[in-house]
Structure 1
Amino acid sequence: MAGKIQYKHMKVAMFEGYAGSSASGFRKEVENEQQMARLEHFLDQYEDFKAGVRMPSRLTSEFARVRDELGDFPGHTVDAARLRAMLANPARTYYPGVLNDCYFEASTALCLSRRPAADPDTEPVMNHCQPAKCPNSCVLPQHRPAIDKVIDDARQLLTIRRLSGLQKTALHQQIEQMQRMRDQTEPAS
């Protein structure tokens, strides 16, 4: 509604971002809170890694590097502040999402493919994410319920009789893609 009033739209329009200005530093406060939440989420992923949860290769290599440098092995106590400090920098480019998380690297991000030259300080465009294809995508066990919901919704849509052949093909492809993503969340054997 604020966007409608601010930009004099005829209808309510949905858009991402903050449209105002703030001398009080509100925007910076929000960004700091988001960064802290990303760090906490990243720390949780590190603990899952230590517990043996299967991780995408980029996370595995980053977490293995931190574990080896800290000597964070069973029976060894690690300084929590040092762990937070070591994970704070990589966590700056980690963005939790619904179907996947993004361990963002602008040069390989498919969500930025529509932009001419991506600024290195750019953040991912989660609405344009292609989680099954992007090398930055991190599909983890906590994403399984959302992936299952997408699969169920696509199967439900397939029951509609008036769908064209192209629509059915697209839904079947989406189901296959989501099932491959779901397979990534299965425990390592």
Structure 2
Amino acid sequence: MDEGAEDEVNADTTPRGKQIAAAAIRANNVLTGICAAAGLTLPAAVWATLMPGQGRSVAAAVLCGLFVLIFISRGRAFADKRQAIALVCGAVAAMCVGVVKYVLSEPAPSGEAVLWGAAVLVAFGGAGLAAALLVPITRFTPLVRMVAEWLEIVAIIVAMPLAAWIGGLFTWVRMR
């Protein structure tokens, strides 16, 4: 009878609290790594996507802007600040890389490109500073939060077909 009682105790395969906590920590670390990798990859992707002075350059700039917006808005959804910081820093670096690519594409003696690039970066930094100062102390209504979620969803929905068009996927499919 002792063996039967022992088998009955071992039949429960439910993980214990320590196992669940360890799995949650592992999953959180994996998600942090994914966010950090995405944040590191976005600036390189923006550099590769932007094509100043060529066809579809405006669409490519809009696509890069959408991804910067998506990364920043996704950053607010994470409770772990390391994940949010990784995404937001990647978005900020991508914005800076995009401005640098446009400035470098202009002729060397052109001071106007540097001026516009600096103005864009100052405006972006000012908007970020204003958001950092106002957002944490503001209590947003459910309507405002819902509108922010819907804007993020629309940005994600628009980004995919825009990327396919810029990359020539629609033309390739039509020609096959």
The reply to whether TM is greater than 0.5 is no
TM-score (norm 1): 0.26
Q: Structure 2 length as normaliser, TM-score?
A: 0.27
**Which has the higher relative contact order, 1 or 2, with Cα contacts under 8 A spaced 6 or more apart?**
2
The structure with more radius of gyration: 2
Higher helix share: 2
